[in-house]
């Protein structure tokens, strides 16, 4: 897939899938078996959706998001069951294959991480702090709200806003080339100005 095609899919995920994260997360919390984490399922769902070659076939993004998250939740449950059974019955027979990534993949991943880190640093202050605590450090929403003296709803909104701004900047980078990073704070200020008119 071309960078432009990938950028369009990422933008689609940001505008059509991201708004449903709260509902999917609440649904997962009620259904996840012990030992599974809603954040892991959500993150893997976003990853898989962002890697789609095309999204034209998706008529109902909300239902598609729920179904994708459900499939990943079931995969995790099956994998956990298989690992437990193998660990009990064939522990000595298991061989761990060397699945070391190539130096090129390591370099590319580091470059991508640096790009995302730079974008996180450009987020508005409270949004950046919430995003780092929630998405990087894995601090629960309730704890972040307590630490920052805000409601859980504010924490959730700031985390979604941060992800949306980062996805938008990555889309622009994919469409316009590596020198096309925009100032995320500038985007946010432009949006506020347009809203206030």
Looking at the domain assignment, is residue 86 inside a domain?
yes
- Is residue 166 situated within a structural domain? yes
pTM: 0.44
Residue 108 is assigned to a structural domain of this protein: no
- pLDDT (0 to 100) of residue 188: 53
Clarify whether residues 84 and 129 are in a common domain: no
Question: Rounded CA gap, 67 and 57, in Å?
Answer: 14
Residues 141 and 74 in one domain: no
Residue 196 has pLDDT above 50, yes or no: yes
pLDDT one-digit tens code per residue, 15-63: 888 888 888 888 888 888 777 888 888 888 888 888 888 888 888 989 8
Do 67 and 24 have their domain in common? yes
pLDDT (tens digit, 9 = 90+) per residue, 140-182? 989 999 999 999 999 989 988 988 888 888 777 666 554 444 4
What is the pLDDT confidence band of residue 80, given thresholds at 50, 70 and 90? low
Q: What is the pLDDT of residue 38?
A: 86
Question: What confidence tens digit (pLDDT) does each residue in 83-112 have?
Answer: 444 444 444 444 444 456 677 777 877 887
* 79 and 5 assigned to the same domain: yes
- CATH code at position 181: 1.10.10
Let me know whether 143 and 178 are in one domain: yes
Whether residue 101 is contained in a domain is answered as: no
Higher pLDDT, 69 or 186: 69
Pair 142, 63 in one domain: no
Q: Please name which of 103, 28, 33 lies closest in space to residue 69, comparing C-alpha atoms.
A: 28
Please report whether residue 61 resides in a domain: yes
Within this chain, do residues 65 and 136 fall inside the same structural domain, yes or no?
no
In a domain, 140, yes or no: yes
Please indicate, yes or no, whether residues 6 and 84 belong to a single structural domain of this protein.
yes
| Boundary (domain end) residue, out of 57, 90, 123 | 90
Long-range contacts of 15-20 (CB under 8 A, 24+ apart): 16/55, 16/58, 16/61, 17/46, 17/49, 17/61, 17/64, 17/65, 18/160, 18/163, 18/164, 18/167, 19/160, 20/61, 20/62, 20/65, 20/66
Residues 86 and 1 in one domain: yes
How many folded domains does the chain comprise? 2
* Dist. CA 137–CA 140, nearest whole Å: 9
Q: Which pLDDT value is given to residue 185?
A: 53
In a domain, 37, yes or no: yes
Is residue 97 in a domain? Answer: no
Same domain, 86 and 152: no
9 and 66 belong to one structural domain: yes
pLDDT value of position 31: 84
Domain of 178 in residue numbering reads as: 115-188
């Amino acid at each position: 897939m071309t960078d432009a095609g990938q950028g369009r899919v990422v933008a689609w995920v940001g505008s059509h899938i991201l708004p449903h994260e709260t509902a999917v997360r609440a649904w997962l919390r009620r259904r996840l078996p012990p030992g599974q984490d809603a954040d892991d399922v959500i993150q893997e769902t976003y990853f898989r959706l962002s890697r789609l070659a095309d999204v034209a076939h998706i008529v109902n993004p909300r239902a598609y998001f729920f179904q994708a998250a459900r499939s990943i939740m079931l995969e995790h449950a099956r994998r956990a069951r298989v690992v437990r059974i193998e660990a009990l019955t064939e522990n000595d027979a298991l061989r761990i294959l060397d699945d070391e990534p190539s130096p090129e993949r390591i370099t590319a991943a580091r470059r991508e991480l640096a790009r995302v880190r730079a974008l996180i640093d450009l987020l508005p202050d409270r949004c950046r702090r919430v995003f780092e605590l929630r998405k990087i450090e894995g601090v629960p929403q309730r704890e972040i709200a307590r630490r920052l003296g805000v409601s859980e709803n504010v924490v959730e909104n700031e985390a979604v806003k941060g992800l949306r701004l980062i996805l938008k900047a990555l889309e622009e980078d994919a469409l316009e080339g590596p020198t096309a990073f925009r100032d995320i704070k500038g985007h946010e200020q432009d949006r506020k100005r347009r809203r206030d008119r």
